[in-house]
Amino acid sequence: MEQEQYDPYYRDLPSNVVPVRTPFTSPGQRDAGHLFIYVTNKGKRWSLLLNKTCVDGIYDEARQHIPRGISQFWLLEKRYSTLKQTVNNMRTRARVRPYADQSYSPPGPVHQRATSKTLVVLREPEPSYTRQSDIISYHFDEAEAVVAASTYTRRHRRRAVVGLLLWDEPWW
């Protein structure tokens, strides 16, 4: 008997960006500004990227498609995601470095707005279900959050995303 493959994403929200993609699909600042949902303590925790112009309807969509339970509902704005690193040999490994480790420059007006907000660094979902949270760290400085995401990726060879926390509430 074949077991169904684990999918951590809610794929049926009407405000999904087309073509559909996850917060990890495009590395760096590509897709920055799009929204995504992360729900703690759930089997499915993530939404795909959501269209920011539909922000007024996203909460209603989530209420229809994401089951309630003992968890937190986070609406985040994607700010940055790391590039998945592959290691063929030590020489390749030394050359592959996210640019954020050396010189990351946050975008002007958005960075000004984000300085007093919480940024969350989340790791990409595991290929199979795990109860472990995806949260790596919290930050108030965007450049610091990007460095934390890049460091995580370099050490664990798994992608990470930096999200600006826009909305946080109990989801029961």
Please give the tally of structural domains in the chain: 1
For residue 131, what pLDDT is reported? 85
| Pairwise CA distance, residues 36 & 143, whole Å | 20
Domain assignment present for 4: no
Q: Are strands 135-139 and 72-81 parallel, antiparallel or unpaired?
A: unpaired
- Could you please report the per-residue DSSP string of the chain? -PPPPP--EE---TTB-SS---TTSS-BTTTTT-EEEEETTSSS-EE--B-GGGHHHHHHHHHHHS---SSEEEEEEEEEEPPPP--SSHHHHHH---THHHH----HHHHHHHTTS-EEEEEPPPSS--SS--EEEEES-HHHHHHHHHHHHHHHS--EEEEEEEEEEE--
Domain assignment present for 20: yes
Tens digits of per-residue pLDDT, 84-137? 876 553 433 433 333 333 333 444 433 333 344 899 999 999 888 888 899 999
Domain assignment present for 82: yes
- Residue-range definition of the domain harbouring residue 79: 9-170
pLDDT above 90 for 44: yes
Query: What is the pTM assigned to this prediction?
Result: 0.81
Domain assignment present for 115: yes
User: 153: which 2 tokens?
Assistant: 């990726």
Residues β-bridged to residue 16: 50
Domain assignment present for 161: yes
Q: What is the mean pLDDT of residues 141-165?
A: 97
Domain assignment present for 50: yes
pLDDT band at 5, cuts 50/70/90?
A: confident
Domain assignment present for 3: no
